[in-house]
Amino acid sequence: MIVSLIVAMDCMRGIGKGNRLPWRLSSDLKRFRALTMGHHIIVGRKTFESIGRPLPGRQMIVVTRNRDFKPEGCMIAHSLEDAITLARERGESEVFISGGARIYARSLKLADRLYLTLVHAEVGADTFFPEWDEREWIEKETSYHPADEKNEYATTFKLLQKSDAV
């Protein structure tokens, strides 16, 4: 099974502000939907609460230490490793890890792929993607998208693969 991270970050590695996405990017949401549709998505509890509901067409696994947290329509795991195992046992071919910051920090060493949206702005985020060694990753795809009426900022979509997974 492929373990993939999927994240949008600004030029300072910012990924959130006030437990929300700090931008309006229609193209990024469409990309996220297309990539994750039909797959398992692993998120932390705070990220799930910011979304507010299970995403249609995907099986969400929420990682939480809170044994009483049981959102309807989601699976629960009490560690990132348990969440990955759960997706694997259910026959998943590619699981997507979609935040938040602590989940990303724990998953960087486990990931094979990184679907990255670079937001060409600094948005004053209060939550950040962890520091990571870009030399460990090989760029497989890249595409630039200018800002427009549906996309507040210009972005670059990248697909990176961990160099030892090539």
Give the CATH number of the domain where residue 31 resides. 3.40.430.10
Q: Are 42 and 7 in contact (CB under 8 A)?
A: no
Full domain range(s) for residue 137: 2-165
Tell me what pLDDT residue 164 has: 77
What is the spatial distance between Cα 147 and Cα 139, in angstroms, rounded to a whole number? 23
In this predicted structure, what is the pLDDT of residue 11? 97
pLDDT in tens, the chain (166 residues): 999 999 999 999 999 999 999 999 999 999 999 999 999 999 999 999 999 999 999 999 999 999 999 999 999 999 999 999 999 999 999 999 999 999 999 999 999 999 999 999 999 999 999 999 999 999 999 999 999 999 999 999 999 999 875 4
Element counts in the chain: helices (H) and strands (E): 4, 10
What is the number of residues in the chain?
A: 166
Q: How far, in Å, CA of 52 to CA of 137, rounded?
A: 32
Count up the domains in the chain and report the number. 1
* Entry pTM: 0.95
**C-alpha–C-alpha distance, residues 111 and 123, integer Å:** 27
